[in-house]
């Protein structure tokens, strides 16, 4: 594999690691580990930790899909491996 290919895969792995890091923080960090602390805050009559685990994290996950698609498209164009 040439240097351009290695740089491309390094950039892809870095992007995936970042997306997975946010996913882990949102799902395990806020949804499980910090839920007791977040439950002290009430949103719409419900504890925030519960709301975050049931609703808020899903909004972040959907946003991550669009962010990943956009950033991956940018990487593909940068390394000239895009499909048009």
56 within a domain of the structure (yes/no): yes
Give 69-73 contacts, CB < 8 A, sequence gap 24+.
71/15, 72/12, 72/15
Question: pLDDT for 43-68, tens place per residue?
Answer: 888 899 988 888 889 999 999 999 99
Q: Which domain holds residue 18?
A: 14-78
pLDDT at residue 63 in the model = 97
Characterize the bridge pairing of strands 46-47 and 42-43: antiparallel
Residues 15-38 have pLDDT tens digits of 999 999 999 999 999 889 999 999
Per the domain annotation, does 9 fall within a domain?
no
Q: How many domains does the chain have?
A: 1
In a domain, 3, yes or no: no
- Answer whether residue 38 is part of any domain: yes
In a domain, 20, yes or no: yes
Q: Residue 54 and residue 59: Cα distance in Å, rounded? A: 10
Is residue 18 domain-resident? Answer: yes
What are the strands, taking DSSP E only, across the chain?
42-43, 46-47
pLDDT at 8 over 80: yes
């Amino acid at each position: 594999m040439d240097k351009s290919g290695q740089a491309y895969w390094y950039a892809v792995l870095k992007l995936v690691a970042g997306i997975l890091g946010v996913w882990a923080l949102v799902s395990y960090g806020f949804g499980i580990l910090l839920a007791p602390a977040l439950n002290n805050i009430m949103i719409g009559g419900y504890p925030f930790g519960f709301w975050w685990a049931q609703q808020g994290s899903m909004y972040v996950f959907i946003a991550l899909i669009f962010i990943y698609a956009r950033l991956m498209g940018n990487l593909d164009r940068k390394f000239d491996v895009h499909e048009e």
